[in-house]
Chains A and B, each alone.
Chain A
Amino acid sequence: MSIETQVRSLPGEAVASEGHAARRLPHPGLFDLAVALAVLADLYAIFAISPAERVQGDVFRIVYAHVPMGWLAYVAFTLVFGASVAYLWKRRPGADYLARAAAEVGVLFTTLLLVTGVLYGRPVWGVWWTWDARLTTTLVLWFVYVGYLMVRSAIADPERSARIGAVLGIVAFANVPLVQLSVTWWRTLHPTPSVTQPGAMGGTLLPILLFSMAMFSIVFARLVVLRLQLVRGQAEARQLAQLVAERTEV
C-alpha cells in the first residue's frame, strides 16, 4: 500500500479539522488580485496624484509607505499579544499559528520601517540614523521580536515552542510602554504624531496617507494569511508524518 493511500485512510481527527480550518480562509485567487490592485493603486496615488512636497521634494513620498508600515507593525505586535493570551488561555493551536504569522510579518514591516526611515532621514535630517526616541524604540522592538522568532525556531517540540512563544509574546508587549517611556525621556527629535492635530496636514497629504494605509493593510492581511496557511500546513504535514511513522512501524 502506498503511503498516500495509508494517509487517506488515517483516522486522525485533528488533521481533518485542521484541513477544514484552512479552507475557511478567503479564496487565494481573489485575495491576490486585491493585493495586486492595491499595490498598483497605491503606487499611482503616491507617485502620480500626490505633488512633490514644497520643501522636501520627492523624498517626502517615502512617508506614504513609512507611516503605514509603522502603524501595521504595531498592529502585528498587538495581534501577537492577543493571540498569545488566547493560546495560554484555551491552548488552541490556531491561536499559536496566528501569533507566529503576525510576528513574522511584524518583523518584516519593522525592518522596512527602519530601512525607509534611514533613507528618509539622510536627505531630510542630514543623518542616516539618530538616537532619537522613536528610532531607538523601534530598533529595540525589532530586536525583541527577532528574539521571539529565534526562540520559536530554537525549540524543537511544537507544543513547547507554542507555550514559550505565547509567554514571550505577552512579556515583550508588556515591556513596550517601559521602553517607550525610558527612551522618550532619553531623547526626542522625530516629529510627533501629527495626523490627529488639526491643520498639520493640508491638501492631498492626509487623504493619500489614509488611502496608502488602507492599501498597505490589504498587503499586510494577505501576508499574515499566507504565513498562517503555511504554518498550518507545516503542522499538518508534521502530524501526518508522525501518523505515517506510527503506521509503518506496526
Chain B
Amino acid sequence: MTWLRHALVIVGKDLRREARARDFAIATIVLALLMLLTFAFAFDVAGEHVRRAAPGILWATLLFAGVLVAGRTFAAEEERGTLEGLLLAPVDRGAIYLGKFLGMVITMGALEALVLPAYAAFFDVPALAWGVLSSVAAGTVGFAAAATLFGAIATHARAREVLLPLLLLPTASPLVIAGVRATDVALGGPAVGADMPWLQLIVAGCVVYLAAGLAVIDHVLE
C-alpha cells in the first residue's frame, strides 16, 4: 500500500501547488469558457443547429483545455528542476505515473464542473444528463491516462509544447469519436450509430491507456 500512498502524496503536492499559484488554473478555466464563446460564433448556433453541433463543441473544448492541463503536469516539474528530485526519491515509477494521472483527473474534473453548467446554459442542452456525465467522466480518465504518459515522454524534448498535442490528439481520437457519439445519444440526437456501445469503447480506451502507461513508464522516466 506504500505504492498507493506515494501516489496520493504526489497528487496532494500537485494540487497544493495549483491551489497556491492559481493563475494557471484560472487561465485554463477562462480559456475553456472562451472556447465555448468561439464555437458559438463559429457555428451560428440557433435552433436546430445547436443540437447538431453541441456534442462536438463540448468535446473539442474539453480536449483543448485538457491538452493545456496535460502540458502542465510534467512541465511544471521540469521548469523548476524538481523532476530530478522526484526521480531520485525512493518512489516507484508507477506510483509517480499514478499520482500525476490522478492529479490530472481531479484537475480536469474541477474544470468540467465549471464548464458543463456554462455549456448547458449557453447552448440550451441538458448537459447534466447521466449519459453526458458518464461519457465525460470516462473520457477524462482515458484522456488523462494517455496524457500523463505523453507528458512524461515530451519532457526533455525540443518544442515539447507543440509535440504533446501532436502526439495526444491522434491517439485520443477514439475517445473523442466515442465521446461525441455518446453525448449525442444522451442529448437525444439522431446520432450516427446510436446502437453502438460508445461508453464501453471509452472504458476500453481507459483500460488500454492505463495499462500501457503503467507498463512502459519505467522506461520513460529513467
Please give the residue numbers on chain A whose beta carbons come within 8 Å of chain B beta carbons, in ascending order. 88, 140, 143-144, 146-147, 150-151, 154-157, 160, 163-164, 166-168, 170-172, 174-175, 178-179, 181-183, 185-187
Interface residues of B in 161-183 (CB under 8 A from A): 163, 166-167, 169-171, 173-174, 177-178, 181
The answer to whether A155 and B171 have CB atoms under 8 Å apart is no
Known: A167-B216, A170-B212, A171-B149. A179 touches B173 (CB 8 A): yes
The answer to whether B166 and A167 have CB atoms under 8 Å apart is no
The 7 closest A-B pairs by CB, nearest first: A182-B174, A143-B170, A154-B157, A178-B174, A154-B158, A182-B177, A185-B196
Q: Which residues of B contact A157 (CB under 8 A)?
A: 156
- Whether, in the assembled complex, B222 has its beta carbon less than 8 Å from a beta carbon of chain A, the answer is yes
Q: Could you list some 27 contacts between A and B, CB below 8 A?
A: A88-B219, A143-B169, A144-B171, A147-B163, A147-B166, A154-B157, A154-B158, A154-B159, A154-B160, A154-B163, A157-B156, A163-B222, A167-B219, A167-B220, A170-B212, A171-B171, A172-B171, A175-B174, A179-B173, A181-B174, A181-B201, A183-B177, A185-B177, A185-B193, A186-B192, A186-B193, A187-B192
Known: A151-B157, A178-B208. A140 touches B192 (CB 8 A): no
The answer to whether A186 and B219 have CB atoms under 8 Å apart is no
Minimum CB distance partner of A157 in chain B = B156
Interface of B is mostly: helix
Tell me how far the C-beta of A77 lies from the nearest C-beta in chain B, rounded to whole angstroms: 13
The answer to whether A150 and B166 have CB atoms under 8 Å apart is yes
Interface of A is mostly: helix
- Whether, in the assembled complex, B153 has its beta carbon less than 8 Å from a beta carbon of chain A, the answer is yes
Please give the residue numbers on chain B whose beta carbons come within 8 Å of chain A beta carbons, in ascending order. 149, 153-154, 156-160, 163, 166-167, 169-171, 173-174, 177-178, 181, 192-193, 196, 198, 201, 204-205, 208, 212, 216, 219-220, 222
Tell me which of B170, B196, B204, B205 has the highest count of chain A C-beta atoms within 10 A of its own C-beta.
Answer: B170
The answer to whether A160 and B216 have CB atoms under 8 Å apart is no
Known: A154-B157, A154-B159, A171-B149. A140 touches B212 (CB 8 A): no
Minimum CB distance partner of B159 in chain A = A154
Q: Which residues of A contact B158 (CB under 8 A)?
A: 154-156
The answer to whether B219 and A163 have CB atoms under 8 Å apart is yes
Bound state CA distance, A186 and B178, in angstroms? 8
The answer to whether A168 and B166 have CB atoms under 8 Å apart is no
Known: A151-B167, A154-B157, A168-B167. A179 touches B174 (CB 8 A): yes
Tell me how far the C-beta of A187 lies from the nearest C-beta in chain B, rounded to whole angstroms: 7
The answer to whether A182 and B170 have CB atoms under 8 Å apart is no
Q: Which residues of B contact A170 (CB under 8 A)?
A: 212, 216
Bound state CA distance, A144 and B149, in angstroms? 15
Minimum CB distance partner of B157 in chain A = A154
**Which listed residue, A147, A150, A178, A183, touches B205 by the CB 8 Å rule?**
A178
**Which listed residue, B153, B201, B204, B208, touches A151 by the CB 8 Å rule?**
B153
Bound state CA distance, A172 and B212, in angstroms? 10
Bound state CA distance, A10 and B193, in angstroms? 66
Known: A88-B219, A175-B171. A155 touches B156 (CB 8 A): yes
Bound state CA distance, A164 and B208, in angstroms? 19
Bound state CA distance, A205 and B201, in angstroms? 38
Q: Which residues of A contact B167 (CB under 8 A)?
A: 144, 147, 151, 168
The answer to whether B153 and A164 have CB atoms under 8 Å apart is yes
Tell me how far the C-beta of B139 lies from the nearest C-beta in chain A, rounded to whole angstroms: 12
Q: Which residues of B contact A186 (CB under 8 A)?
A: 177, 181, 192-193
Tell me how far the C-beta of B84 lies from the nearest C-beta in chain A, rounded to whole angstroms: 14
